[in-house]
Amino acid sequence: MEILIAIVVIAISYFFGTFPSAAIVAGRKNLDITTVGSGNPGASNVIRNLGWKTGLAVFLMDMAKAALAVGLAWLVNWYFNSEQRSPLSYLCLFAAILGHSYPVTSKFKGGKGVACGGGGMFMLFPLTSLVLFTSWFVLTKATRKASIASLAISIALPFGISWEKAENWEIAATLALVAFIIAKHLPNLRRLKSHEEPDI
């Protein structure tokens, strides 16, 4: 029964992730976000084309998707007297990120998972996440490259949670998340190398 419930909440978490925040917010501005800029339906592309205020709304909505997924895992953990930072919490977080990055509702074309993953990590490690959340905006403003800021805070994440006394398996899970984020940013890295990455 416990395994069945876990499968159900992981599936629900995936569908939380598929919520098209960028498409909805940009659509209210009469813009198809997938046809402009990088074509990526994420907060960075929205900021680049519609400004910081609109992009921040998308950023927070994307964060909320994974936060809800982790919150759902917490309800199950509470019911079964498990720790909040359980493997189920991470599985629901990863499911939400996969839903965001590869949404079945949008032909598996989604965002890169930085804001979405950040929302889930806020639930698990709020202090580290607050520092990294702030750092993302500072680095983006300083470099004018959202990809540099996203990669920097992703790489810093395992070090931050280590400082917050994360268990070894949690660090390993976070390293897997970092690898995923880096893989999603390979096109950005190629553009950065050729000086073709657009400013934000």
Q: How far is CA 90 from the centre of its chain?
A: 13
Residue with tokens 């997938």: 34
Closest among 141, 149, 144 to 199, alpha carbons compared: 144
**Model pLDDT, residue 178:** 96
DSSP-assigned letter for residue 86: S
Contact 91, 73 (CB under 8 A): yes
Q: How far apart (Å, rounded) are the C-alpha atoms in residues 71 and 43?
A: 22
Task: Kindly report, residue by residue over 33-89, the tens digit of the pLDDT.
Answer: 988 877 888 888 999 899 999 999 999 999 999 999 999 999 999 998 888 899 999
